Every structure is written in C-alpha cells, then in structure tokens.
A and B are shown apart, each in its own frame.
Chain A
Amino acid sequence: MTNFPPKKCNSYFQSYKFFYHILAAVFLLLSLFVSGTIASENTGYIKGLGAVLREQPSIQSKKLMNLSRGTAVLSMESKGIWQKVVSGENQGWLLRGQISKFPVKKKKLVLGQKIRLQSSSGRRLRLRTFSAVVGVRGLVDSKGKKISPYKTDYVALEWLEKQPSDEENSVIFLTYTE
C-alpha cells in the first residue's frame, strides 16, 4: 500500500467507479436494514387456543394442524378474512382474527395488594386496588365535596371476580354442536 502512487489513488477516488462502488455499498447496507424490518413486520403470533391451520381459505377445508398460543408465523398473502401463513415447514390459511402483531404476553390478574377498610354501611370489605378504596370511601376535593357522583358496588365486583374460569374447558365447551 505504501508504494502505491498517490496520484493513481487520487484518480480512483475521483473516478465514476468510486462513486458507483459507494452507491453499491450504501445499497447493500440499506437492503440489510430493510430486509430486517420487513421480516419483523410480517411476523405474527398466534393469539389464543384452538387456532387451526387449513389447506384452503375456507371453514370446510382440510385441517393441516393446530397451532399453539404464542407460535410465531410468517404472514403471506391475505384473502378476505383469511391470511396465508408459514409456520416452520407448514404453510396454510388462518382466520386473521387469530393472529396478533405482538408477541403473546403473560396474563395479568387484578393487582394483588389487599386493603382492609370499613364501608359506610359498617360491613368489612377486602379490597384489592387503590381505585376500589377510592370508590368506597369516596374521594373528596379540597372543599370536602365528593369527586364522583356515581355509586359503586365493589362487593358485587369481587363476587364476579371469584367465579371460576377455565380457558381450555371453555374452548372445548364452545366446540359443541347440536
């Protein structure tokens, strides 16, 4: 490199070749970025239980396989409410409502913190969240006026929250046909 005549080197940097080479390099870099972005945009995730990959975009079409919650799929073409996807070695059609753009997150339950206080009727309540406490006691402003004019019933809400719920059995319950 050191014995390289500087004049020649200079001529290379000034030549159209240099310009094209830079252009090619920039293009290469851009394509690296773009391909990465496109790949991530086309990736979808199976939202829930019971997603069935089908051969054709139709409910009557042959079932290829069941896809489990959280599976990553690559979206291809779409047709009406159907989306063609690739999952591993399998390729088929899914209903678009079953695909989420974002990875599946862990289920969040009502905040665990429990706060004990007496309600206005003297009943003992166990409330979990801050808004529940505000709801029962009533939040007052600086003049002592209640902020919210509406009545609340957290006891009923907690009754509802205690009712059993089982996702897998419910999905099976829904498959029943008369």
Chain B
Amino acid sequence: MRHISNYLWLYIFILSSGFAVSAQAQEFRQRAHHIFWKNQEAGTEREIDFGRGVSAKILGKYPLLRDEKKVRYISRIGTGISAQLGRPEIRYYFGILDTEEINAFAAPGGYVFITHGALKLMRNEAQLAGVLAHELAHIGQKHIIRKLKLQSTDTSMTSGIAQVLGGATLAAKIALERLNDLAFKMLMEEGLSKEDEADADQKALEMLITLGYDPQSYLNFLQSLKPHLSQGGAEVLSKTHPTIEFRYQSLSEFISRHNLDKIQGKKNENRFKKIMDTP
C-alpha cells in the first residue's frame, strides 16, 4: 500500500508539471500565432500598396479601356471566381487594356488585367474564366512576391514584405521603387518560372472544374494562341511564358494524373458573345 501511495505522488507530480508545461506551450503557441497574423496583415496591406504601383505602371504602358459594360462583365466573372477561390482578405480589380496585343497580367494585391486582343480571341465564357483563374492563381500563390524574395515562405514568422516595404526613409522609398520596377520588368520581360506558370495553369483548370466550367475550353484557348505567338501578335506573352507545347503537355499530365478527362462543363457562349460583340 505504501508503495502505491509513493508511485501515486510521483505520478501526480509528473502529470501536474506536465500539464503546466503544456499550458505554457499552448500560450506560447497562441502568442506566436498572434504575432504571425499581425505581420501577415501588415504584409497584405503592403502587398496591395506594392501591387498598386505595379498596376499604375502597367496602365502607363497600355491604356485602360473604359467600356463600363465590358469591364462590369469581366469584373463579375472575376469577382465570382475570387469570391469562391481567391484570397478572402483581398478585394480584386479586373481591368481591360486597350491594346491588340494578346496577354493578361496579374499584379500583387489583387489587380488583374486582360488585353482587348486576348478577349477578341476568346470564343466563350469558360475561356475567359480560365484566363482570369490563371491570373488569380498567380496572386493566390504570391508568385511575384516570392520571386522577389519579399516573403520567404508562407509560414515564416515575420513577413518579409512588411519589413522591406514598410520603411519611411528615403532609402526605403528608393528600395520600394526599385522593387516595383523589378516586378514590372518581370511581367513585361523576364516572366515567372516555368514551374510557376504550370502551377497557375493547373490551378486555373481546377478552378474551372470547381465552378462547373468546361476545362477543355481553356486548353483550346491555349492552342488558339499558337499562330499568334509565331506571328508576333503576342510578343510579351511569348517572352514571359513557357511555350504552348510545354503548357499543354503539363496540363495533359495533370488531367490524366487526377482522372479529369471526362469532366465537362458549361461554356456560356451566347452570354459571352452578347457582351463582347457590341462595339
């Protein structure tokens, strides 16, 4: 009996100290979590501010098409996708660039642009949704921010972008402007990595399936880009993106890996044409 009482005291001691330690660990976790989120939120604000700068440069290169009917349509499709599959903390903007060049851009922080030339090439709403989804995936995965190394990983304790872009000194402002130019150059000249583009394509296809759109339409759109790329109608696009063959190949692999080949969906050709065919 004495033995048992002895063990009992020992157990009670170990267990109670154990609970004390785990409670402290819990508190530590919560505090770390709080700091993490505070940084993340500051990071989001900076990201939007940064993205505005990049967007203003895109609009400095290409004029904005101020056709309210078309912009509202694009914006409704884009917002419908982002409300379901985008980052909930971001308000997305969708603009049309008044140029015959074929391309689409995504600046950090929620700014998406599609050229009038690209819209003319599209045949239905599923293709438009696919291209917007591709751009949303770039913003969702923070591809530009990551490539500029403004944020090392999603789980890092301090958000890099808040530190780099938060400074008020002239040196910090110059650094911000230089980074902004780098992001702009990335969109116009250098492009993202092959892997990031393939990732955005796959995410776009997944989004189309989630929303009930026809995924094949997106592949068809990629194919329809081919002659324009060789004729020079999409100079920036061919400079900044991997070849259509590579993109088609990686999407086909993705489709067969996840057994997505039999999935069909809506195309909403008439609604698309009704809006786009008006001058």
Taking beta carbons and an 8 Å cutoff, which residues of A are in contact with B? 1, 4, 9, 12, 21-22, 25, 28-29, 32-33, 36, 47-51, 59, 69-70, 80-81, 95-98, 100-102, 104-111, 129-132, 134-135, 139, 141, 147-154, 156-157, 159-161, 163-171, 173-178
Contact = CB atoms under 8 A, between A and B. Distances in A.
A97 B85 contact: yes
A50 B44 contact: no
B174 A139 contact: yes
A81 B177 CA distance: 39
Contact of A28 (B18, B52, B212, B266): B18
Where chain B touches its partner, the secondary structure class is helix
B53 A161 contact: no
B269 A178 contact: yes
B85 A12 contact: no
Given A81-B260, A107-B88, A178-B266, A163 B72 contact: yes
Nearest to B137: A97
Nearest to B270: A178
B173 A134 contact: yes
B216 to A, nearest CB: 15
B177 A105 contact: no
Interface in B66-114: 66, 68, 71-72, 75-93, 95
30 contacts: A12-B3, A12-B6, A25-B11, A25-B14, A32-B22, A47-B84, A47-B85, A47-B88, A50-B83, A51-B84, A59-B212, A95-B206, A104-B88, A105-B44, A108-B91, A111-B49, A131-B50, A139-B177, A147-B174, A147-B178, A148-B178, A150-B57, A153-B60, A153-B64, A157-B55, A164-B72, A167-B80, A167-B83, A168-B83, A178-B267
A36 B95 CA distance: 45
Most buried by A among B22, B84, B154: B84
B271 interface: yes
Given A153-B59, A173-B80, A174-B80, A107 B90 contact: yes
Contacts of A96: 206
A152 B89 contact: no
A33 B25 contact: yes
A9 to B, nearest CB: 7
State the 3 A-B residue pairs at the shortest beta-carbon distance, nearest first: A151-B60, A174-B80, A170-B80
B76 A170 contact: yes
B40 to A, nearest CB: 7
B221 interface: no
B184 A109 contact: no
B190 interface: no
B52 A108 contact: no
Contacts of A110: 48-49, 52
B203 A132 contact: no
A9 B228 CA distance: 88
A146 to B, nearest CB: 10
B268 A177 contact: yes
